[in-house]
Structure 1
Amino acid sequence: MVTSYPLPEGFSEIEVFGIGTALLVQALLGFILNGLTILSFYKIRELRTPSNLLIISLAVADTGLCINAFVAAFSSFLRYWPYGSEGCQVHGFQGFVAALSSISSCAAIAWDRYHQYCTRSKLHWSTSISVVLFAWGFASFWSMMPLFGWGEYDYEPLRTCCTLDYSKADRNFISFLFPLAFFEYLIPLFIMMTAYQSIHQKLKKSGQVKVNTSTPVKSLVICWGPYSLLCFYAIIQDATVLSPKLRMMPAVLAKMSPAVNAYVYGLGNENYRGGIWQFLTGQKIEKAETDNKSH
């Protein structure tokens, strides 16, 4: 019986149920939208381009985040973590690989779009595959470190999902967080900001300001910024003084990223949207162009 398990400290019955429901809705929505993105790439020949492989890398990473959210939602409805400490480590690792690969893929897409719009150079398959392998390999490296003792995975305040433990904020955590944040958040963010700023300037000169270049950067900052701030806050102040509910919000917000990314990079891409429409309805794309246009 679900009622046989006590409520996590600091949460009411309705709050636990609300967080579980939010995680489930985010997971379902992200799973459907990213599934459409992946299936369309597989089925529609015109979409199979080196540039769109970067979008697939993002969709696969975000699907991994959705799986992570499904597990967290299920545990939230149970009101406890049923998979033990080893399961917690696996859940933390899997979520971290997916999250870091997602952020890196966003940066790779920005880098590719910069070349499309500003240098007019096409991405080759060998380069695209190498970028994807590097993004996932680098994400796996940082995600494995807590399993070997550099950093640590532990329960979120709700105690129904696991992530990087920021509650201790000891030397081990600090030495892990700074290079992690630099390589896997600040550098991708810098790449995205400079790439889209350059695209904006280029389009402004040519009078084609129809493309919204600020949305990808905003979506990354909104989804992952609060989580990054919480981790850095833990360095200067004991994060456990914050209420458990407040500390759960960045995690719930970050789980929105799969649905947001699917909208921004899949449905928000004119040509990719045409491919998804063709996959769903069988109607041929009128003009099979493969340049990525972010709206």
Structure 2
Amino acid sequence: MFQRTNMRSHQPIEFHDDFWIPIPLDTNNISAYSPYLVPQDHLGSKALFYSMSAFMFVCMVAGTFINTLTIVCTIQYKKLRTHLNYILVNLAVANLLVSTVGSFTCFFCFACRYMILGTLGCKIEGFTATIGGMVSLWSLAVIAFERWMVVCKPLGNFMFKESHAIACCAMTWVCALAAAVPPLVGWSRYIPEGLQCSCGPDWYTTNNKYNNETYVMYLFCFCFAIPFTTICFCYSQLLFTLKSAAKAQAESASTQKAEREVTRMVVIMVVGFLVCWMPYASFALWVVSNRGESFDLRICTIPSVFSKASTIYNPFIYILLNKQFRSCIKQMLGMSESEEESSTSSSVTEVSKVGPA
């Protein structure tokens, strides 16, 4: 451990193998402020901690319910097992992991006002949040690639099949593990962040022992820039193709409508993902590129906690915009459905063989 000055508060900063927190000038007793041992009331009011806990409770309950419902519905109804829906279910599985483990850990720790689950709990929460976020981002890249392949047909008559979708789902987990495992084995580390009740990779220090700087560059280049570039490229090509097809009326009106609705759904999913994750990514980039600049630990808690809302919005998007899912969920829950809606759902399924519509 060693100390240096915080540019914001001009207080010593204690570097420890398992955490990084401000220590007041009048004491060197690290146990009095350890985020694993005592409530972090010196960082914020009790009302703030309990508000964060309540928010995480909503994310945990709603995320667990809606993602479990999506997975069970897909298992129960065979007509939902299309290649695009496999990727959507892959998202639901990743979200379920975050809501049941990551969101629960944060809910419990915010209620206690410190990382009561210890270093192991911190590593588990940081790992699940990282892997869930990475699977989500890579899955959205795969969806964009699938849309590009189906609509733009860059390879002619190549068919994106279920086997391809399953292989792509496996790839998202491999890429996510490549991002989430290094901090567990010494390349960077998972430490409490913000109000010290949630955990993530160490953006804050330049400790050469963990090579944090190189890990941050790796994470943003491989795990953010590549999938995000893929998403932007595929959707730009997709929108151009749909616009050209609409002008030429090369396809039937019903097919064009189905493809537009599918595209609208996945575009909204991408925007929703960025709304939840861009604040966190932007803050991390700012910290890395502005070493020594002042920032408030309470502020950096907001993007960290807000990012976990991504476990809720994806299922809501493809249930509200997907007539197939909506129809099947109504049936599974015993809710009545009009014949007109049922026939519309079936009609769209026949027109667009990509699942959502």
Q: 3-state DSSP class of the match of 1:103?
A: helix
**Does the C-alpha gap of structure 1 residues 64 and 218 become closer, same or farther in structure 2, counting only changes over 3 Å?**
same
Deviations 1:147-190 (A, max 9, x none): 11111100022222211111104561120111211221122112
Is 2:85–2:356's contact at 8 Å kept on the other side of the alignment? no
Runs (5+) with no aligned partner, structure 2 = 1-36, 247-255
Matches within 5 A, 1:168-183: 168-170=205-207, 172-183=211-222
Q: Which moved more, 1:118-127 or 1:60-69?
A: 118-127
Deviations 1:166-223 (A, max 9, x none): 1104561120111211221122112222222222222223335753364233212211
Distance apart, 1:239 and its partner CA: 7.0
Pairing 1:51–2:114 present: no
Alpha-carbon displacement from aligned partner over 1:83-125 (angstroms, at most 9, x marks no partner):
2112212221222111211111111112112222222754222
The AA in structure 1 aligned to 2:218 is: P
Deviation at 1:57, TM superposition (A): 0.6
Alignment of 1:115-126 (within 5 A): 115-119=149-153, 121-126=158-163
Indicate whether 1:184 and 2:223 are aligned.
Answer: yes
* 1:211-247, Cα deviation, whole Å (9 max, x unpaired): 3364233212211111111111122224783112210
Matches within 5 A, 1:208-247: 208=256, 210-211=260-261, 212=264, 214-238=267-291, 241-247=294-300
Residue 23 of structure 1: how far off its partner (Å): 1.2
* Partner residue in 1 for 2:189: 152
Mean CA deviation greater in 176-185 or 36-45: 176-185
- Of 202, 206, 211, the residue aligned with 2:241 is 202
1:27 counterpart (39, 46, 60): 60
**Residue 260 (structure 1) aligned with residue 297 (structure 2):** no
Secondary structure at the aligned position of 1:64 is classed as helix
Q: Secondary structure at the match of 2:191?
A: strand
Match of 1:131 in 2: 168
Looking at both structures, which has the greater relative contact order when contacts are Cα pairs under 8 Å and sequence separation is at least 6? 1
> How many pairs align?
291
Tell me the residue number matched to 2:136: 102
The aligned residue for residue 39 of structure 1 is 72
* Contact 2:194–2:299 (8 Å) recurs in 1: no
Per the alignment, residue 17 of structure 1 pairs with 50
Q: Report if the CA contact (8 A) 1:113-1:292 is conserved.
A: no
Instruction: For residues 264-289 of structure 1, give each alpha carbon's deviation from its aligned partner in whole angstroms, at most 9, with x where no partner exists.
Output: 23433333333323332376943172
Correspondence 1:269 to 2:303: no
When you count helix as a share of all residues, which structure comes out higher?
A: 1
Amino acid at match of 2:180: S
- How big is the shift at 1:291? 1.8
- In the alignment, the residues of structure 2 paired with residue 242 and residue 47 of structure 1 have an alpha-carbon distance, to the nearest angstrom, of 47
Structure 1 residues 16-71: Cα deviation after superposition (integer angstroms, max 9, x where no partner): 11111111112222222211211110101100122211111100001111121111
The ranges of structure 1 where at least 4 consecutive aligned residues each deviate by more than 4 angstroms after the TM superposition are 282-285
User: Match for residue 354 of structure 2?
Assistant: 291
Q: Percent identity?
A: 24
- 1:142 pairs with one of 166, 179, 185: 179
| Kept after mapping to 2: 8 A contact 1:53/1:128 | yes
1:91 is the counterpart of 2:144: no
**Could you say what secondary structure the match of 1:281 adopts?**
coil
**Preserved CA contact (<8 Å) 2:122 2:199:** yes
